[in-house]
Amino acid sequence: MQSKPKKTNIRANGHKASAGNTDVSRTKLRERVKELTCLYGIAQVASNPNLPLERKLKDIVQLLPPAWQYQHRACARIIIDGQVFQSPGFCNGERRQTATICIAGRNRGTVEIHYRNGRSLLKMNPFLHEEQNLIDNIARQIALMIEHEEDSAIKAELQKQLIRTDRLAAIGQLAAGVAHELNEPLNTILGFAQLAQKTPDLPLQTKNDLEKIADASLHARNIIRELLIFARHGKPGRTPVNLNQIIMNELKLFETMCAKSGVELKRVVDSELPEILADKSQLRQVISNLIVNALQAMPDGGTLTLQTSFDASSVKFVVEDTGIGMSDEVKENIFLPFYTTKDVDQGTGLGLSVVHGIIASHKGEIFVKSEKDKGTRFTVTFPRQQETVSKEYGI
Ligand SMILES: Nc1ncnc2c1ncn2[C@@H]1O[C@H](COP(=O)(O)OP(=O)(O)O)[C@@H](O)[C@H]1O
Ligand SMILES: [Mg+2]
């Protein structure tokens, strides 16, 4: 008789326990489903190739609050490189859970879930252990997504550079061919024009006409000379060169012009600048081309700055103006031969392509930074590894 109630008890307890377990499992399951929905949503946004990164982060931040236990109190914020993305109605809460967004070993920002203040939540820790795992996981997903986007951007830029270099090389070959072909007949025209000029008792009209022919031929020959330098295949001369000295000498030639057009000259040179092995006359040409462009960009005056500096691996010089600047389209094309935005008598469009060719043949690099109506800065770097250059050129 005594055993009966015991049995019932056990059964009743057992029933109660299993009902409780089912509730816990249900809650857990519900939380799991919320987490998975959130992660799935993030994966979908991250893998959409049509969305820019900013839009992706804006979308992702909205997916976060519903995955937390007290979703109606939750709001989310993603900070990346100082840029902030928030879920609608975001406000700072005292209770928050965070994870660091770490990309290539660098902390770039955080993912945060805040609970808007409520008394019940203030008393306890309202976050589940699983939620910390979830937010860590989300931070990792965001880091991967950004890393992937940045890699793709670098690849696209490299590809663009390669295409541009290829195009320049092809144009260079073409230009060299044309220049060689034209050089001969042009010299003949010039030679005969100059010979004819020496004929005694020429009528004035003929004398003037011959002068025009000779001038035009000289002009054409200069263009061809520049083209040949641009397309030059032979190795340029190499002697130790002090860039500071070349810059100072070149600037002297432009001082009067600067004063006339209201351009202030600034020289910021490093007196310790090491020498580089280079072709002196070509470097002169680089610097004067950059200065002429800078002055042409400042018809109403401004400031022209020439700066030299160096580090362990390179020697650098900068030519900067406060002139008209360039649009993106102009910037894309400046190194192409014959690309010019100037009137016929102002430019041939060969200057920067020659500059580019010379710098490339010195294994250097040229960078341009320009903003419309603000100004332009050309930065040129040459390698300092003298030993390798010396070996290559047998100096
Ligand atoms: N400092 C500068 N500021 C603004 N635009 C520039 C500057 N340097 C070059 N450019 C642009 O690049 C073009 C090409 O320059 P370049 O090859 O020297 O040819 P050119 O000077 O004969 O036009 C110029 O026509 C101009 O549009
Ligand atoms: Mg020019």
- Take residue 190 and report the two structure tokens written for it: 């010039």
- Take residue 204 and report the two structure tokens written for it: 């004035």
Beta strands 302-310 and 263-268, pairing class? parallel
pLDDT at 353: 85
Distance CA 75, CA 91 (A): 7
Q: What secondary structure letter does DSSP report for 76?
A: E
CATH class of the 28-149 domain in this structure:
alpha beta
Report the predicted TM-score, pTM, of the whole model to 2 decimal places: 0.53
Find the largest Cα–Cα distance for the chain.
152
Cα distances (angstroms) measured from residue 171 to each of 59, 181, 223, 357: 46, 15, 15, 12
Model confidence over 335-345: pLDDT tens digits? Answer: 988 889 988 66
Distance CA 395, CA 391 (A): 6
Q: What secondary structure letter does DSSP report for 65?
A: G
Is the CB of 319 within 6 Å of ligand 1? no
Q: What percent of the chain has pLDDT over 90?
A: 50
pLDDT at 385: 63
Distance from residue 297's CA to the centre of ligand 2 (Å) = 10
- Residue 58: which of 104, 36, 90, 99 has the closest Cα? 90
Q: Tens place of pLDDT for every residue, the chain, 395 residues?
A: 444 444 444 444 444 556 667 777 787 788 888 889 999 999 999 999 889 999 999 999 999 999 998 888 899 999 999 999 999 999 998 889 999 999 988 999 999 999 987 666 666 778 888 899 999 999 999 999 999 988 888 778 767 766 766 676 677 777 778 887 888 899 999 999 999 999 999 999 999 999 999 999 988 888 887 777 766 644 567 889 999 999 998 888 788 778 888 999 999 999 999 999 998 888 988 998 899 899 999 989 999 999 999 999 999 999 999 999 999 999 999 998 888 998 866 777 888 988 898 898 889 999 999 999 999 999 999 998 654 444 444 43
The residue ranges of every structural domain in the chain are 28-149, 236-393
Asked if the 236-393 domain carries CATH number 3.40.605.10, the reply is no
Distance from residue 288's CA to the centre of ligand 2 (Å) = 9
pLDDT at 4: 43
Given ligand 1 and candidates 289, 293, 355, 376, which is best to mutate, with the most ligand atoms within 8 Å of its CB?
A: 293
Q: Which residues pair with 75 in a beta bridge?
A: 114
Please report the sign of the dihedral spanned by the C-alpha atoms of residue 323, residue 326, residue 330, residue 334: positive
Is the CB of 372 within 6 Å of ligand 1? no
Residues with CB under 5 A from ligand 2 (ion): 293, 351
Residue 221 near residue 348, CB atoms below 8 Å: no
Distance from residue 341's CA to the centre of ligand 1 (Å) = 7
Q: Which residues pair with 264 in a beta bridge?
A: 303
For atom 11 of ligand 1, the residue with the nearest CA is 334
Contacts of 274 (CB under 8 A, 6+ apart): 310, 315, 384
pLDDT at 19: 60
Given ligand 1 and candidates 168, 329, 334, 346, which is best to mutate, with the most ligand atoms within 8 Å of its CB?
A: 334
Contacts of 248 (CB under 8 A, 6+ apart): 267, 269
Length of the chain: 395
Residue 278 near residue 238, CB atoms below 8 Å: yes
Is the CB of 286 within 6 Å of ligand 1? no
